Structures are given as C-alpha cells and as structure tokens.
A = this chain, B = another copy of it.
Amino acid sequence: MKVFWQKGFEATSLDDLTKAMGLSRSSFYSAFGCKQSLFLQALEHYSKNGIRNLKQVADTAEDDAVDAMMQALANPKGGPQGCMLINCITELAPHDEQVAAIGRRHLENIEETFAKVIDPEHPEAVRDKASAYSSLAIGTLALRKAGMPAERIANTLKQAKTILST
C-alpha cells in the first residue's frame, strides 16, 4: 500500500512491490494473482483505514471537530504524497471504473462524516455544506503538492472554515 501510495499504480513496478513485501515473484503471483488485484486491495485498505481515522479525529477533537477533520484531511500522514485515493482518482478513475467506484465511496464517506459532525440530528440537511468542507480540504492538497508554503495553506483553510461555519 505504501509503495502504491508513494508512486502511483503505473510507476510502481513488480520489483518495487516484491522488495517492499519481502516476497518472491512466484509467491506474489500465487497470493495476489496480478498487480491490479493487490492494488485494489491496497486501495480498499487505505480507504477503510482513512475513514476510521477521520471518525476518530472527529470523536476525539477537543473543541472544533470540523476544524480537526479539515486539518487531518489537508495534512495526511504520508507526507508530501498527499492522499492516496485522490492520487489514484486523478491517475486512474477516468479509465478505470473500479477505482472510480472506490473513490466515490471514499468521498461519500468523508462527506457523511462531516455531515454527522455538523448536525448530528439532521445530517441530510447539511450534505452540501459537508461536501463543501470536504472539497475544500481536498483542494488544498494540490497546493501542498505544488509546494505552496504551509502557512498560506493554513490561512486559506482557516479563512474558509471561519466563513463556512457561519
């Protein structure tokens, strides 16, 4: 998963994978069938894990759960490589419906988590607002990847959050 996260699907070679996994080629193919299959599993794993983390961030936030979620989304643990799912959506979704489907589900889960935090009683009513928070956080990932100063990104997020939360 980490290798795919860092390099994307096409740029990851079988040698990269077998080396990272400490597996021989034959073991790899007998276990996973093909590169694509492992990739989809890695993507699913990343998504599940990411959503779980996001919910945990929301639950354990001290005062402002929405802010904590935005921070978590805009500064993914992986470092400069951003969010694996956004990377993969960008690289593959237009040509690969399976990836697109996992991506859609992930994005919907993010939005749903936002909605429940914003209005636990009527999450449906704040769906568009939740979607806006989500899209905003995802948009800043591009700034980050392009090497924009972290301070600028933080200001953007802060400003937007202040306005959106009114």
Instruction: Show the binding face of A for B, using Cβ within 8 Å.
Output: 8, 10-11, 80-82, 86-87, 89-91, 93-94, 97, 100-101, 103-104, 107, 128-129, 131-132, 134-140, 142-143, 145-148, 152, 155-156, 158-160, 163-164, 166
Contacts and interface: CB of A to CB of B under 8 A. Distances in A.
Contacts of A147: 93, 97, 100-101, 103-104
Contacts of A135: 136, 139-140, 142-143, 156, 160
A86 B90 contact: yes
A101 B147 CA distance: 8
Given A104-B146, A163-B164, 5 more contacts: A107-B143, A131-B156, A135-B143, A136-B160, A163-B163
Nearest to A154: B128
Given A94-B145, A137-B139, A139-B138, A160 B155 contact: no
Each complex incorporates copies of this chain amounting to 2
> Chain A interface secondary structure, helix, strand, loop or mixed?
helix
B136 A155 contact: no
Given A136-B160, A139-B136, A139-B138, A131 B152 contact: yes
A166 B142 CA distance: 26
A115 to B, nearest CB: 12
A86 B91 CA distance: 11
A91 to B, nearest CB: 6
